[in-house]
């Protein structure tokens, strides 16, 4: 993969150059030593730690013997363009790089920046749907109402007069966040067809924008469910290094190294898959009904003889 050369001596361009180089190294499977990176780029080691732990919090990084690497499943999947884009997005807070590439100029155009929220790894194949994606971007930027067909489990439904707010990428899958009938909803991009941009203009609701920026998942329920978890010492570092649950907050770090983690979620499915993944190292403290539901599911699973599995 070609290297991205230095942009300028300005601080913001230096940041993007550094982030791009680190991403290239990760994408090529290198195991990165923070001290060596600090020496290479002439910055304080704390700066590199911030790059890895905060700016790249959305990447599936693993820390092994003090060195960082990209989860092998994702190796080689980033193109040079992806790397430039991720580097720009990672440094966007207060730092707007003056890059010449048209692609990056689009990213930092205020109107288009407000159409998207990228969370996780955007690997969904949009081949053949590029025009639909661009039409949604344009409608969001222009505050134009939409009409479209949407494939649901019980059949296709036609939506009319939907106000689009953001294109949201959650763990590689694109969603349209929009207001329908006064309620904020998410629609899977791949299930949208027969899109029409209407002439009617809508006024953006600041509260809806605030919700989208605050909530980290795609479950946009009117009432949030507060969940508290107990994380065992052996896996606590994973939860300290990255938010593994939407809206995760570390409430307490106990003397034995365990953590009490809380999150406000729109649906139990924002939490249960993570808890199942980390069994037996995590338990649900509140609500107790959710732990009981999980226990019942696990017991039912264990009660099924292997010979009855449909494999």
CATH number where 190 lies: 2.30.30
Same-domain status, 277 and 251: yes
pLDDT (mean) for 259-278 = 85
- β-bridge pairing 155-170 and 116-119: parallel
In a domain, 68, yes or no: yes
In a domain, 207, yes or no: yes
Range of the structural domain that residue 68 is part of: 11-108
- Encoded tokens for 174: 């694109």
pLDDT (mean) for 100-108 = 37
Give the pLDDT of residue 84.
57
Do residues 262 and 251 touch, judged by C-beta distance below 8 A?
Answer: yes
Task: Give pTM, 2 decimals.
Answer: 0.44
Do residues 53 and 241 touch, judged by C-beta distance below 8 A?
Answer: yes
Where is the domain boundary, 108, 135, 154? 108
Arithmetic mean of pLDDT over the chain: 77
Do residues 3 and 21 touch, judged by C-beta distance below 8 A?
Answer: yes
Do residues 26 and 35 touch, judged by C-beta distance below 8 A?
Answer: no
Highest-confidence range of 25-39, 63-77, 208-222, by mean pLDDT?
25-39
Do residues 132 and 81 touch, judged by C-beta distance below 8 A?
Answer: no
In a domain, 219, yes or no: no
| pLDDT above 70: percentage of residues in the chain | 71
Where is the domain boundary, 213, 233, 257? 213
Where is the domain boundary, 153, 181, 213? 213
45-59, 80-94, 271-285: which has the minimum mean pLDDT?
80-94
Say if residue 128's pLDDT is above 70. Answer: yes
In a domain, 311, yes or no: no
Query: In sequence order, which residues have a C-beta less than 8 Å from that of residue 259 and are 6 or more positions away?
Result: 230, 231, 236, 239, 240, 250, 252, 253
Domains of the chain: total: 3
Give the pLDDT of residue 95.
35
Bond preceding residue 287 cis, omega within 30 of 0: yes
pLDDT (mean) for 133-160 = 91
Give the pLDDT of residue 196.
95
């Amino acid at each position: 993969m070609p290297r991205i050369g230095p942009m300028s001596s300005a601080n913001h361009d230096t940041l993007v150059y550094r982030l791009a180089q680190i991403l290239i190294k990760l994408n090529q499977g290198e195991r990165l030593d923070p001290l060596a990176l600090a020496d290479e780029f002439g910055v304080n080691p704390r700066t590199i730690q911030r790059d890895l732990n905060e700016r790249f919090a959305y990447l599936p990084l693993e820390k092994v013997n003090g060195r960082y690497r990209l989860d092998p499943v994702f190796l080689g999947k980033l193109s040079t363009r992806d790397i430039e884009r991720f580097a720009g997005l990672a440094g966007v807070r207060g730092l707007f790089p003056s890059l010449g590439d048209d692609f990056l100029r689009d990213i930092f155009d205020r109107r288009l920046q407000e159409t998207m929220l990228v969370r996780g790894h955007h690997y969904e194949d949009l081949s053949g749907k590029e025009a639909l994606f661009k039409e949604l971007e344009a409608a969001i930027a222009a505050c134009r109402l939409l009409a479209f067909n949407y494939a649901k489990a019980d059949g296709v439904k036609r939506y009319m007069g939907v106000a689009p707010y953001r294109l949201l990428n959650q763990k590689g899958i694109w969603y349209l966040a929009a207001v329908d009938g006064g309620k904020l909803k998410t629609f899977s991009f791949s299930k949208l067809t027969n899109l029409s941009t209407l002439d009617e203009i809508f006024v953006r609701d600041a509260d809806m924008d605030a919700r989208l920026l605050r909530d980290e998942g795609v479950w946009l329920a009117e009432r949030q469910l507060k969940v508290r978890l107990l994380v065992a010492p052996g896996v606590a570092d994973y939860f300290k290094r990255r938010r593994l649950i939407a809206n995760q907050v570390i409430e307490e770090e106990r003397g034995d190294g365990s953590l009490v983690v809380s999150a406000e979620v729109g649906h139990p499915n924002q939490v249960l898959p993570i808890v199942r993944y980390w069994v037996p190292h995590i338990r649900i403290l509140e609500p107790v009904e959710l732990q009981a539901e999980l226990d019942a599911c696990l017991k039912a699973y264990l009660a099924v003889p292997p010979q009855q599995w449909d494999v």
